[in-house]
Structure 1
């Protein structure tokens, strides 16, 4: 009896110890954990090269850069999970910011109050983003263009429209309330746009992980034919996803305008590359059906931090796009190796 009772705890506790070990191993190899480790190493490296990088002012600037990238990346996350791509988000950012700037300047000059002028500017920008999202959705679901081609076309249209309406020059004349709204800091690092981005991030996380909308998004990206057979209205869902992407890009354009106090036709140039980089670095598979928005958030933070660090160590702006492109290639290569290892 004594031997039996002594042996029982050993048999019961051994699986528990193994399970805990497996959990620690799983946590250590999760995408988010690896990204946090990469971020910490990157911060240390840039701080050693330039100590100013590790400062409150620098972190505040990084977060301001992070806000528009995060918004575009969240929209890109929804799109890529469905198996698509949206190349128009950078151009939508620029056109939306310029549209808001023109609306606010015109209404301010006509004697409207700053609050009403800013409201009209916000509505104008959101309408631009929603319209482009609808056009993208129709081209993909009705005309049956590939997402790459459809959004490439709208990217060109938006960029051309921005240059035409601005004449290639910045749209100034914003009331001081615009700059205050975009640049007033709380606790030295947080701004109103950043609070909005964090709210959007929470909503996106809940939508993807806790709702039927999220389950349908993953299902379409995993197997569109099976999703149709299961009764999902794929075309309608894709319309919603591309509209979400367009609206979030428009909000990003608003935030860039609020920060600068003017609408620049160059705003958003290369934004689609940064958004895709943030999503892919965060573990969103370009094959569709895989990824978490929390990974995208870390990917956006890494992307913004890398660009800020390159500026502080004296890398010219044109070379920064090379680094972003290299990050995308590296992230896709890592995803490919992970899939290959999972099959073996």
Structure 2
């Protein structure tokens, strides 16, 4: 009699434990990041079957070099989209900042300045350009009260035009060899200094969004800006910070492209805003604001860079790649819409 009672009690006690474990496994299986990892694995398999060179250390290293600037722009978009905004200028800022660094480094190098100091001044010039554009975006949105789409569309046009005027439509060469070495020297056949910097920024961004007041305010503004103001959050000041950070991150992306190529190209960054938005949206960042994680954005950026690299290896022409990026955005937004519809029912 005692044994039967003990057995039934044990069964009753373990049933809730097993149920909780099952719920945790189901939650893990349906999380955005888990689904993205599965999509990435299938994509790698598909491209590897079409071209075996895709599945190699050299190919993965190249993908990560392409991933670095996309990741920086995608982090910028993540902060901004979570607040309920958008930044169409990140690609143009990438191009203008890279050209600015190229001009500063070439001019100071030709004047006899040591390479280390010349490169430092080039980095400062690029970051100041990005900061300036980010501040202008913030002012247009918080003071002039332009919609983020219109404000950043205007600055995108200004940056693209300025880049063409400054360069005359040609590349800015004349970089010292230290620039190319800094951008292309690989460690463990994969990592470069710019890539390691990007990974460090990724960790900082994750901590900022998930562990700080800055992150809580960012989500609060995107969820309900009016309620955020009532709660005492200085929404305009916070948006100024977010767009300024976005400009600086886009400028860093321009620097890393310049370090990799060894020249400033006026064509750099074209379509970068689409890649950044695609990475964020694929990663689960809702265009409605207030939802998303940096970890999802990182996987979205990796998928975006991997898709573009795979398309090149299987012989798809570059002009068609933007079609694929646009399609990825449409599919990701559609999936988010289906998910919201299911959650309401």
TM-score range, shorter chain: over 0.9
Q: Distance in 2 between matches of 1:275 and 1:140?
A: 20
2:138 is matched with which residue?
Answer: 137
Q: CA deviation at 1:7?
A: 1.7
Q: Distance in 2 between matches of 1:5 and 1:54?
A: 56
* TM-score, length-scaled by structure 2: 0.99
DSSP-derived class of the 1:328 partner: helix
DSSP-derived class of the 1:27 partner: helix
Q: Distance in 1 between matches of 2:45 and 2:284?
A: 23
Q: CA deviation at 1:290?
A: 0.2
1:25 aligns with 2:26: yes
Runs of 4+ in 1 over 3 A off after TM superposition: none
DSSP-derived class of the 1:138 partner: helix
2:212 is matched with which residue?
Answer: 211
1:336 is matched with which residue?
Answer: 337
1:266 is matched with which residue?
Answer: 267
Q: CA deviation at 1:268?
A: 0.1
Q: Distance in 1 between matches of 2:185 and 2:242?
A: 32
Q: CA deviation at 1:8?
A: 1.1
1:75 is matched with which residue?
Answer: 76
1:202 aligns with 2:210: no
2:155 is matched with which residue?
Answer: 154
* TM-score, length-scaled by structure 1: 1.00
DSSP-derived class of the 2:160 partner: helix
Q: CA deviation at 1:47?
A: 0.3
1:98 is matched with which residue?
Answer: 99
1:57 aligns with 2:58: yes
1:253 is matched with which residue?
Answer: 254
DSSP-derived class of the 1:156 partner: helix
Aligned ranges 1:175-194 → 2 under 5 Å: 175-194=176-195
Q: CA deviation at 1:188?
A: 0.3
Q: Distance in 1 between matches of 2:14 and 2:36?
A: 33
Q: Distance in 1 between matches of 2:266 and 2:85?
A: 27
Q: Distance in 1 between matches of 2:21 and 2:50?
A: 40
Q: Distance in 2 between matches of 1:263 and 1:232?
A: 40
DSSP-derived class of the 2:281 partner: helix
1:165 aligns with 2:198: no
Q: Distance in 2 between matches of 1:14 and 1:58?
A: 48
Any stretches of 5+ residues in structure 1 without a counterpart? none
Q: Distance in 2 between matches of 1:6 and 1:71?
A: 57
1:119 is matched with which residue?
Answer: 120
1:45 is matched with which residue?
Answer: 46
- Alignment RMSD (CA, Å): 0.5
2:312 is matched with which residue?
Answer: 311
Any stretches of 5+ residues in structure 2 without a counterpart? none
Q: CA deviation at 1:249?
A: 0.2
Q: CA deviation at 1:5?
A: 2.4
Q: Distance in 1 between matches of 2:92 and 2:7?
A: 70
Q: Distance in 1 between matches of 2:44 and 2:178?
A: 34
Q: Distance in 2 between matches of 1:297 and 1:10?
A: 43
Q: Distance in 2 between matches of 1:301 and 1:284?
A: 15
Deviations 1:189-241 (A, max 9, x none): 10000000000000000000000000000000000000000000000000000
1:301 is matched with which residue?
Answer: 302
DSSP-derived class of the 1:268 partner: coil
Q: CA deviation at 1:280?
A: 0.1
